[in-house]
Structure 1
């Protein structure tokens, strides 16, 4: 039994890798999506709206299978039509990271968009009046305040994203949920192994909450009214 627990712990490291990789993809897509929806350009606004609407309306499991199986078939069909004999196989790790990141990029888009809208527009106009360009205004004025407003929603998205990594077990990635299922089948003791896996997810959640709450407290300094 001890050997199975050690194997599940090794799979837990892979779960962390999928979570962090997907978070990077989600943040990048979230920033791009928020910028598109706030750009004021009809085409970009429409693309951002279609992205967030479709992704939030399709179950995560369906998207996972579409990327893993449909993506492989689509790429190989494209290569075949181009006259190439090469074939592409999407690895489970890459499929998991891309799919989960793509899904939660839609949620991050709305989180970042709402945070940016919470910033008084006069601050950006004042920065432009002082001669700051748009990139400098974003980095020095918008981004620090956006982080403060976005953190509560970001924390919720991150916690749900961590739990969604269990879906990658369905495409053969040997993370801790997959290994717990294998161990339970071999020993016919599913309760103990899935309970252990659930405890590991709770530990991840607790560590994330502690770290993100400290970050939230740091960005909230000076924003609370002092009671006299």
Structure 2
């Protein structure tokens, strides 16, 4: 009986252990968080640019996106994409006379769902970082003959980086924890593996506690990396 096996065996990497599955699940958790962060950063930057646009309709659309995605639970977005994406893809394929492509991969669905919500928060972070750059410094750089790229590299980017890194670190932590929601799509990330292991061995406390430790390891390591990046960003901003 698996529930009679010692803890070292259950958490080990042998034939009766769940060690490899837990490590693989943690790796997939990081993959989901990284994919979501990348999607959120790209879309968030586009939303920031749209909000600063002179086109009123574009600015209002970007603002509405932020209000909606920040106002609904992340789980609802995951469910909407997981159950709604196949139908939307089939309808799109039908317009071109193509066969339905089926359901998208669970990893892609999870990254996209969390990334769409992350983008709404990152857009506000980027907008705040841009507003923190004094207008006078940009005008002075223009008067000194700097081109757009030089202004961005030497004046705007260092100051924006200084202001956005701490909140981006918080958003990364949220993405890392929200990746657990993707378990409902059947993706074998850390939470899903823990649930399966707990059910198979009838040792729920052991595996949920192990999952908690692994999440804490990932979040603590992430915090240390972002603090290091913040210190480097401060030196860059100070020596620009």
Which TM bucket (shorter chain)? over 0.9
Counterpart among 94, 97, 105 of residue 91 in structure 1: 105
Aligned residues: 224
Deviation of residue 135 (structure 1)? 4.1
Counterpart among 110, 117, 125 of residue 111 in structure 1: 125
Q: How does 1:54-73 map to 2 (within 5 A)?
A: 54-73=68-87
Deviation of residue 223 (structure 1)? 7.5
In 2, Cα distance between equivalents of 1:136 and 1:65 = 44
Deviation of residue 7 (structure 1)? 1.1
1:9 equivalenced with 2:46 (yes/no): no
Residue equivalent to 2:44: 30
CA shift digits 1:156-177 (9 cap, x unpaired): 1111111000011011101111
Deviation of residue 38 (structure 1)? 1.9
Q: TM-score, normalised by structure 1?
A: 0.92
Could you tell me which runs of 5 or more consecutive residues in structure 2 were left unpaired when the two chains were aligned: 1-9
| 8 A Cα contact 2:162 2:233, kept in partner | yes
Query: Pairwise CA RMSD of aligned residues?
Result: 1.7
Deviation of residue 137 (structure 1)? 2.3
Residue equivalent to 2:214: 200
Report the 3-state secondary structure (helix = DSSP H, G, I; strand = E; otherwise coil) of the residue aligned with 1:221: helix
| 8 A Cα contact 2:130 2:160, kept in partner | yes
Deviation of residue 133 (structure 1)? 3.6
Taking a change above 3 Å as real, the CA distance of residues 129 and 170 of structure 1, as seen in their structure-2 partners, is: same
Residue equivalent to 2:59: 45
In 2, Cα distance between equivalents of 1:188 and 1:52 = 43
Residue equivalent to 1:151: 165
Could you tell me which runs of 5 or more consecutive residues in structure 1 were left unpaired when the two chains were aligned: none
